[in-house]
């Protein structure tokens, strides 16, 4: 039989246990609802594409009680633009027809998470893929009947480099391969397309023409309320900003919640840039440089990166000004030096000894026409003809440098083909060692896609008795 003191002791133990449990529950609840770091609640680490957002659960889980639809909406909110035709060859509309109900019951191709599940590093392959190995087979099991060249190939190899990309297949579809099968290694006139902004200013409705007419400004025109530092003024006068009538106030007068009129700020953020460069800022927010800012977190820093970075850059914050320092906003600096200040992987470190860099130097020295040099940005921030509205498109630098990165076949049309032929590009991008050395030497890989497309074409022509 337990003594009175024993019973009292046990009571106290119960109270201590209850109290501790209550405190722990309160602490966890507080952390869950208000805490800055909620990684404690993550069921597993995020994929490399999303790891920066570990502290922003609600970037994807916008409604904690929501179901799969909530997650799907979150995927589409960031990636939806790239998931439409013609960029995406498997858009949602392909699958919604009731005739696909049976297939969808086997594999739900209408949900991003079917192939891109998060928090599951044990099944996550490169490109954040958790794709079921039998994904393609449900719709393409008879492919060998249409394409005898594919007979006997395992379905797990569909997405091999240079073969197929489920979403963006624009450089890999059969007729494109055939059209470019004889393209030489180097184009006759290797040139990047020229950027269009100044030439289209009149047509950009959002541009503040009324406040800042496109007229070159002189030193005495600077409209800052205080005298401007001479160096700052000199820098500003060298830019396209001064040449196009963009005065100090254009960036430094910022909207302010506490005032009806905009207030002067010494350090304008990306809102200042986005007044004229909204699409650039938006695209920046979708890539690995700006996604933290877009999610309302502190800016990305190299120390948080998964790729090798320069140790001295560990704490640098990534904003517009990191690569485009005020007040020169020198795009040449942004295209190479800004990248190499942080990136220290083999490919980046080898750039300055590459043929691409040699061409870049020659362009900077005025020995080659504009667009002949190959900077880091030339390939990784390609110049793309963007639909900026329903009625206007312009060639602009894609500031989402992650968009054409992986799988690297997405880079073929936006970057490689401006200067190189398709067969060479396919082989070069399939050669990991060649990529690491920043393309010193010749591709050792040989992608068979073009050869296979040719085989199928010859067979079809024999059947029809036609000629190519």
Partner 1 sequence: MKKASISILALSVAAAAAGLSVATAEMSAGNTPSITPKAMADALHLVMDSDRTVYTQKIVNRLVKKDKVITASEHFEDEQALVLPAQMFRFGSELVAQRAADKPDVNFTYSLQSLWPVNRQNAPKTEVEKTGLQFIADNKGENYYAEEELGGKRYFTAVYPDIGVAPVCVSCHNDHKDSPRRDFKIGDVMGGVVIRIPLGS
Cα angle 290-260-282, degrees, rounded to a multiple of 5: 15
Give me the least distance between CB of 79 and partner 1, in Å please.
18
| Structure-token pair, residue 185 | 């290694």
Q: Binding marks (x or -) toward partner 1, 109..148, rule CB under 8 A?
A: ------------------------------xx-x--xx--
Compute the least distance from the CB of residue 175 to partner 1, in Å. 6
Sole binder of partner 1 in the list 4, 122, 175, 260 (CB under 8 A): 175
Reading the block at residue 384, the tokens are: 């793309």
**Closer Cβ to partner 1, 110 or 362, answer by number:** 110
Tell which residue, 137, 113, 107, 95, has the closest CA to residue 47.
113
x/- map, 32-71, partner 1, by CB under 8 A: ----------------------------------------
Question: Which three-class secondary structure state does DSSP give residue 400?
Answer: coil
Question: Which of 93/314 has CB closer to partner 1?
Answer: 93
Residue 77 vs 93, nearer CB to partner 1: 93
For partner 1, the binding residue among 15, 42, 93, 392 (CB under 8 A) is 93
> Binding to partner 1 by residue 96, rule CB under 8 A?
yes
Q: Are the C-beta atoms of residues 90 and 167 closer than 8 Å to each other? A: yes
Q: Contacts with partner 1: how many residues (CB under 8 A)?
A: 27
How far is it, in rounded angstroms, from Cα 135 to Cα 125? 15
Nearest Cα residue to 410 out of 426, 393, 431, 392: 426
Segment near partner 1 (CB under 8 A); pick from 153-161, 171-179, 230-238, 287-295 = 171-179
Cβ atoms of 411 and 379 within 8 Å: the answer is: yes
Taking the least distance from each CB to partner 1, the nearer of 65 and 145 is 145
DSSP state of 193: P
What is the rounded distance in angstroms from the CA atom of residue 378 to the CA atom of residue 96? 38
Among positions 36, 99, 152, 390, the unique one binding partner 1 when judged by CB under 8 A: 99
> Binding residue for partner 1 (CB under 8 A) from 104, 340, 364, 405?
104
Structure tokens at 186: 């180097």
Task: State the nearest-atom distance from the C-beta of 56 to partner 1, in Å.
Answer: 30
Tokens of 228: 């401007």
Q: Which of 443, 379, 437, 367 is nearest to 408 (CA)?
A: 379
**Which one, 94 or 167, has the nearer CB to partner 1?**
94
Q: Tell me which stretch binds partner 1 (CB under 8 A): 97-105, 334-342, 385-393, 422-430.
A: 97-105
**Greatest alpha-carbon span in the chain:** 104
What does the block give as tokens for 50?
């999303």
Phi-psi region of 370 (alpha: psi -120 to 50; beta: other; left: phi over 0): beta
CB of 100 to partner 1, least distance (A): 8
Interface residue list for partner 1 (CB under 8 A): 86, 93-94, 96-102, 104-105, 139-140, 142, 145-146, 173, 175-176, 456-457, 460-461, 463-464, 466
């Amino acid at each position: 039989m337990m003594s009175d003191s024993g019973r009292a002791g046990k009571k106290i133990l119960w109270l201590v246990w209850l109290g501790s449990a209550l405190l722990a529950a309160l602490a966890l609840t507080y952390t869950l609802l208000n805490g800055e770091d909620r990684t404690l609640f993550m069921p597993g680490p995020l994929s490399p594409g999303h790891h920066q957002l570990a502290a922003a659960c609600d970037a994807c889980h916008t409604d904690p009680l929501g179901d799969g639809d909530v997650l799907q909406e979150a995927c589409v909110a960031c990636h939806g633009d790239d998931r439409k035709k013609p960029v995406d060859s498997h858009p949602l509309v392909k699958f919604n027809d009731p005739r696909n109900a049976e297939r969808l019951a086997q594999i739900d191709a209408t949900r991003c998470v079917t192939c891109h599940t998060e928090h599951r590093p044990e099944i996550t392959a490169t490109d954040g893929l958790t794709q079921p190995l039998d994904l393609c087979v449900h719709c393409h099991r008879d492919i060998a009947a249409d394409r005898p060249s594919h007979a006997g190939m395992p379905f797990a190899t569909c997405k091999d480099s240079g073969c197929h990309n489920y979403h963006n297949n624009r450089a890999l579809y059969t007729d494109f391969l055939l059209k470019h099968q004889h393209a030489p290694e180097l184009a006759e006139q290797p040139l990047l397309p020229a950027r269009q902004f100044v030439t289209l200013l009149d047509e950009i409705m959002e541009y503040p023409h009324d406040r800042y007419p496109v007229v070159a400004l002189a030193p005495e025109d600077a409209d800052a309320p205080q005298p401007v530092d001479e160096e700052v003024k000199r820098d500003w006068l060298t830019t396209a900003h001064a040449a196009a009538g963009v005065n100090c106030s254009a960036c430094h007068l910022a909207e302010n919640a506490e005032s009806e009129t905009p207030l002067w700020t010494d350090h304008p953020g990306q809102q200042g840039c986005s007044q004229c460069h909204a699409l650039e800022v938006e695209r920046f927010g979708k890539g690995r440089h700006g996604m933290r800012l877009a999610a309302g977190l502190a800016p990305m820093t190299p120390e948080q990166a998964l790729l090798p970075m320069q140790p001295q850059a560990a704490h640098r914050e990534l904003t517009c000004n990191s690569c485009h320092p005020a007040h020169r906003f020198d795009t040449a600096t942004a295209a190479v030096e800004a990248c190499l200040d942080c990136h220290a992987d083999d490919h980046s470190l080898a750039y300055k000894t590459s043929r691409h860099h040699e061409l870049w130097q020659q362009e900077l020295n005025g020995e080659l026409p504009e667009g002949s040099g190959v900077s880091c940005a030339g390939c990784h921030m390609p110049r793309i003809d963007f639909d900026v509205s329903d009625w206007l498109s312009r060639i602009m630098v894609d500031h989402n440098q992650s968009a054409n990165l992986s799988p690297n076949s997405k880079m073929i049309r936006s970057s490689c083909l401006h200067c190189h032929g398709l067969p060479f590009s396919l082989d070069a991008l399939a050669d990991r060692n060649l990529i690491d050395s920043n393309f010193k030497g010749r591709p050792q890989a040989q992608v068979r896609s073009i050869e296979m497309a040719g085989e199928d074409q010859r067979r079809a022509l024999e059947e029809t008795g036609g000629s190519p």
